[in-house]
Structure 1
Amino acid sequence: MSEHTAQLSSRDGRWSLYVVLMGVPVSQWPEHDFGTGNVPTPAERSGALTELGFVFTDGAEWAWEEYPERPDDDSSPVRLLASVQVRSGDGGLS
């Protein structure tokens, strides 16, 4: 059963959750848009992943990373990215 990385990111105040599928064009990655507002809760993220057909792998936990919008510029706005390992909920999607 294939594992994938699900990522939660924000751009222009909109939170988006997507599942990275290697070998598949980015435009075809499963995605859920939370809209603007607060960071989606773990329960909201889990629900969105379920709607997209994915579940957490055993022991998976969200990991947060910050990165500059413009690398090598310490005055650049900071972006947040959360990642977690998932697998297909039906066991068949790779």
Structure 2
Amino acid sequence: MAREFTAQMSMYRGRWRLYVVLLNTAERWPEYGFDRALPVPTLTERVNALSTLGFEPVPGAAWQWTEDRDNLDDPASSVVLIAAIRARSWTGVAA
């Protein structure tokens, strides 16, 4: 059975990046850069990026958007949007 992880997408240094969170490990988190700020990567682009990293969305999972701030102590700080989805190691089997 494939292990499940959280994949997240956020803006970093003016460009969207997608990464897979690997908790309780010293391994480097797999990351994919979209090399642009706009437009926001499409669903297809996100799935392709996950595939490039060796992952796929868990069947039935949907992207969830949350809002954060650059400076957590300042409510007037710039907003940071983070998208997340449950992902699993790519099985190579069509669903």
**Cα deviations across residues 47-84 of structure 1 (Å, max 9, x unaligned)?**
00011110111210000001111113121000000000
Query: Residue 80 of structure 2 aligns with which residue?
Result: 79
Structure ranking higher in helix proportion: 1
Query: Residue 29 of structure 1 aligns with which residue?
Result: 29
Unaligned residue ranges in structure 2 (runs of 5+):
none
Identity value in percent = 46
Per-residue deviation, 1:19: 0.3
- Distance in 1 separating the partners of 2:26 and 2:82: 20
> Which amino acid in structure 2 is aligned with residue 24 of structure 1?
T
- Distance in 2 separating the partners of 1:76 and 1:65: 15
Q: How does 1:1-94 map to 2 (within 5 A)?
A: 1-25=2-26, 28-38=28-38, 39-90=40-91
Structure 1 runs of 4+ aligned residues shifted over 6 Å read none
- Distance in 2 separating the partners of 1:74 and 1:68: 8
Per-residue deviation, 1:37: 2.6
- Distance in 2 separating the partners of 1:63 and 1:57: 13
- Distance in 2 separating the partners of 1:2 and 1:37: 31
Classify the secondary structure of the residue corresponding to 2:77: coil
- Distance in 1 separating the partners of 2:37 and 2:16: 8
With the length of structure 1 as denominator, give the TM-score of the two structures.
Answer: 0.87
> Which amino acid in structure 1 is aligned with residue 26 of structure 2?
P
Unaligned residue ranges in structure 1 (runs of 5+):
none
With the length of structure 2 as denominator, give the TM-score of the two structures.
Answer: 0.87
